[in-house]
Amino acid sequence: MSTSAALQPAEQSAAAQQPAPHVLGVVFPGYHKDELNDHVWGDNYTEWWRADDGEVLIRGQHQPQMPIDRYDLSEPAALKRLASVAHANGVDSLLMYHYWFRSAKEMVPGLKSKRVLRGPLDTLLAHPEIETSFALAWADMAMTKKAQGYAVKGASETNLKWGDTFMPNDHTEDDDREHAQWLIKNVFSDPRQLKVDGKPLFAVFSTPNQDHPGYRLNFLKLLRQEARSCCAMELYLVEFIQRPLAGDGTTRMERGKRHPDDADALLLFAGGFQKYESKQIIKEDCYATSTTRTLTPTGRPAKELVNCTVLNYEAVAEKNVEVTEAAWAARSKATHPFDVIPAAMPGWDNTGRYPHGGPSLFIARGNTPERFGRWMDHILRGPPGGTTPPKLVAINAINEWGEGCHLEPDTKFGMSFYEALKASKQKALESAQRVAARSISALSAVAPHACNDATIPSWKRPVICSELQSR
Please provide residue 187's backbone torsions phi and psi, each rounded to the nearest 5 degrees: -110, -55
Residue 374 within a domain: yes
How much is the pTM?
A: 0.88
282 in any annotated domain: no
pLDDT at 104: 86
pLDDT per residue, tens digit, the chain (471 aa), is: 546 554 333 233 333 345 789 999 999 999 999 998 888 888 889 999 999 989 999 999 999 999 999 999 999 999 999 999 999 999 999 999 999 999 888 888 888 899 999 999 999 999 999 999 999 999 998 887 665 666 666 555 566 666 677 788 888 999 999 999 999 999 999 999 999 999 999 999 987 655 555 788 899 999 999 999 999 999 999 999 989 998 899 999 998 898 999 999 999 999 988 889 999 999 999 999 876 666 667 667 778 999 999 999 999 999 999 999 999 999 989 989 999 999 999 999 999 998 888 889 999 999 999 999 999 999 999 998 766 789 999 999 999 999 999 999 999 999 999 999 999 999 998 887 877 666 555 555 555 555 566 555 444 444 445 444 444
Strands (DSSP E) contained in 69-161 are 93-100, 115-116, 133-140, 143-144
C-alpha 259 chain-centroid distance:
25
432: part of which helix (H) or strand (E)?
helix 416-444
Return d(Cα 90, Cα 426) in angstroms, integer.
8
Cα dihedral sign, 273-275-281-287:
positive
Is residue 114, in this structure, part of any structural domain at all? Answer: yes
H or E segment to which residue 241 belongs: strand 236-241
Q: From CA 339, how far away is CA 212, in angstroms rounded?
A: 26
Parent domain of 49? 9-276+313-442
Burial 397-415, CB ≥16 within 10 A → b, else e: bbbbbbbbbbbbbbeebeb
CATH number (domain holding residue 211):
3.20.20.80
Report yes or no on 449 lying in a domain: no
Residue 370 exposure: Cα atoms within 13 Å on the Cβ side = 1
In this structure, is residue 166 part of a structural domain? yes
Query: CA 71 to CA 2: how far, in whole Å?
Result: 27
Do the domain assignments include residue 307?
no
Q: Look at residue 457 and tell me if it is in a domain.
A: no
Number of domains in the chain: 1
Residue 452 is assigned to a structural domain of this protein: no
Measure Cα distances from 219 to 178, 198, 310, 336 in Å: 11, 21, 37, 20
Q: How far is CA 415 from the centre of its chain?
A: 19
